[in-house]
Amino acid sequence: MADEFRLGIGPDEKAGIAEAERLVTEAEFGARELGGWSFWLAGGVALAMTAFQLWTAALGTLPGVLQRSVHLTFAIALVFMFYPAVKSARQGRLPWYDLVLAAAASYASLYVTLNHTALIARVGTPAPMDLVVGSVLIVLVLEATRRTVGWWLPVITTLFLLYAFVGPWMPEILSHRGYTLRRVVGQLYLTTEGLFGIPLGVSSTFVFAFVLFGAVLERTGAGEYLIRVAFSLVGHTRGGPAKVAVVASAFMGTITGSSIANTATIGSMTIPLMKRVGFKPEVAGGIETAAGGNGQLMPPVMGAAAFVMAEWLAIPYLEVVKAAALPAVIDQLALLGAVHLLALKHGIRGLPRVELPRFLPTFLGGLHYLLPVAVLLYYLIVKNYTPLTCAFMALVAAAALFLVSSFVQGLRRAPVVPGEPDAAGLGPALAEAALRLVQACHLGARNMASVAVTCGCAGIIVGIVTLTGVGLNLSAIVLDLSAGSLYLGLFLTMIACLILGMGVPTTPTYIIMATLTAPALVALGKANDIAIPLIAVHLFVFYFGILADDTPPVGLAAYAAAGIARSDPIKTGWRAFSLDMRTFLLPFMFITAPAMLLIDTTWQEATWIFVTASVGMYGLAAAMQGYLITEARLWERGVLFVSAVCLVHPGLYTDIVGIAGMALVWGLQRRRAPAAPLL
């Protein structure tokens, strides 16, 4: 399928695709491609990590701190093996100093497991060796985080660490009595309220299983199938390849939860085609960037942050999925609408129907790829099992299905995956299938390494906040700065999320902001006599953490898309940001209208909210693009914006005002441009 749509791609675009793939590899798997003994050593560690995770998923996880300790042992070793100290150093073997760091970090993490009984016996009075090993691990987690996500998160974490020691000299509103090295290391290393806290706990259980599930589906051809389905559905409509980017990213987001991987994988096919039908390079890259980020909002797999949220709020993960489902679908439809309006505005058509696959044969031909997702949803929704068990059952189903499919295709001497060379019989087909599963296990572990160390790093911040009580102080600051206004407090929180998220991945951004601002927002709600559900506050932070991924000048997804489009990454990022602005309205509605999160509402009310909010988001996209059925005048854009706000906010009177405003602008534009196309 990839070859079908890559025909006609020029040398520049091929170079861009290669550059985007390099960015994704560096961000998600590390810049080193090892060879020789280094390859076998690092590969063995990765497969051992996967084996440990699968074993505990099948037979039951170890007691909290033990599971997290072993998980971090593998993860931090993989980081020092695959992520060089300087990204330009991509040598194919491990330097001696990274081997030493990997060994030291692994021992420091595993020390908690090896000495678990003794540590329990001397809880509160750590021995000198405990403090030395704990200090080493804290420093090496900071270095591992720097290698995986850059300087911003370790610098913030270091500032929090310093704050634990300099409390007596801080301004009164931030002051505390100060803590010794013994107390700080004891808190962060020897309890479950620091390095080995909830974030790492979620990483060591649910997240790994879901990441591996996504990796198996992707390596076995599900990704290609979903992209083909998207092309068959909307490739022929106005701006077809741009709509394919949105639909395919939504499909892929349900199983991967990764914005940069979505952008690079789908963009390698959609961006050249967007340019072919008339989109400017930076616009094509911006659309794909926005679509890739949106994919992370789609249940049932919403990335590590959503699992942390469920654990943090002590609610079933299904409750998070339920609350996030309606806004996610509305948001995807809104992006589809924005792309449609952009295509109408610039007169861009779709791809010729004859070049595209037919929907029904395409959909039915790969229906087996959806069975593992069906298994996941069955155990999650019908059986109400834990996310870990659901992911494990879906993972087993995906692997078994792929092996059976390979067996059948091998008997027919057909390719294992469409577009691949002929498997030439049963033996080679099964060998190829087994190799793909091993590769998925290897890549899944490498991908999880960066997630685990960033979760550990975020856990340090949570531990310091718990130790010093600074969260209450920051809540007081937010209350003061907002002067008691809920909307101003929400606005300040949004700005903080966007700034922090420019250099920090979604999961630690969510963890930090939820720790520091969630109590303040709940307090603001009480001050304004509004009972804000806690999940609404956490989803507010979650949404803006994801939006920050596209915010210039840092967003990696924009750099990947710009590489494929051969456009300026900053301009591409701003284009994505302008498309994302339609999403800014939704999180505010979570707070003021929790019915959108399906809280205390009936299915009839939910249906009406879905319809009116979808129309409202389309109106917001029209206001942002300055186009509904023809060019909008300035005052018409204002009416569209106000109408959108009214429609997105659930309520009979606001819906009436919103519909009237939209109808007014539509009628005036229809009179002004009677021949304007509707589709």
For 602, other C-beta atoms within 10 Å of its C-beta total 10
Tell me the pLDDT tens digit for each residue of 635-674: 999 999 999 989 988 888 899 999 999 999 999 998 887 6
- Per 3-state DSSP, the chain is made up of helix, strand and coil in percentages (nearest 5) of 75, 0, 20
For 17, other C-beta atoms within 10 Å of its C-beta total 21
Q: Could you report how far apart the first and last alpha carbons of the chain are, in Å?
A: 27
Mean of pLDDT over the chain: 84
Query: Positive or negative, the Cα torsion across 319, 320, 322, 327?
Result: positive
Cβ contact 269:3 at 8 Å: no
pLDDT band of 677, cuts 50, 70, 90: low
Cβ contact 305:206 at 8 Å: no
Distance CA 661, CA 643 (A): 5
pLDDT band of 423, cuts 50, 70, 90: very low
Q: Give the three-class secondary structure for 519.
A: helix
Cβ contact 260:23 at 8 Å: yes
Residue with tokens 């931030």: 174
Most confident of 233-237, 297-301, 569-573: 233-237
Distance CA 212, CA 204 (A): 12
Tell me the pLDDT tens digit for each residue of 164-188: 999 888 887 788 888 999 999 999 9
* Angle 15-17-18 from CA coordinates, rounded to 5°: 65
Distance CA 102, CA 78 (A): 8
Say if residue 676's pLDDT is above 60: no
Distance CA 143, CA 97 (A): 13
Q: Which residues have a Cβ under 8 Å from the Cβ of 673 and sit 6 or more positions away?
A: 629, 630
Q: Give the three-class secondary structure for 631.
A: strand
Say if residue 548's pLDDT is above 90: no
Stretch (H or E) spanning 482: none
Cβ contact 76:452 at 8 Å: yes
Q: Which residue stretches of 220-299 are H helix?
A: 222-234, 240-253, 259-277, 281-294
Cβ contact 7:269 at 8 Å: no
Say if residue 309's pLDDT is above 60: yes
Distance CA 46, CA 445 (A): 5
pLDDT band of 251, cuts 50, 70, 90: confident
Predicted TM-score (pTM) of the model is 0.85
Tell me the pLDDT tens digit for each residue of 348-382: 888 888 888 898 998 888 888 888 888 988 888 88
Tell me the pLDDT tens digit for each residue of 461-480: 989 988 888 776 776 777 77
pLDDT band of 484, cuts 50, 70, 90: confident
Q: How does DSSP classify residue 355? A: G
Distance CA 433, CA 406 (A): 6
Cβ contact 89:52 at 8 Å: no
Distance CA 548, CA 557 (A): 11
Output b/e per residue, 418-440; b: 16+ Cβ within 10 A. eeeeebeebebbbebbeebbeeb
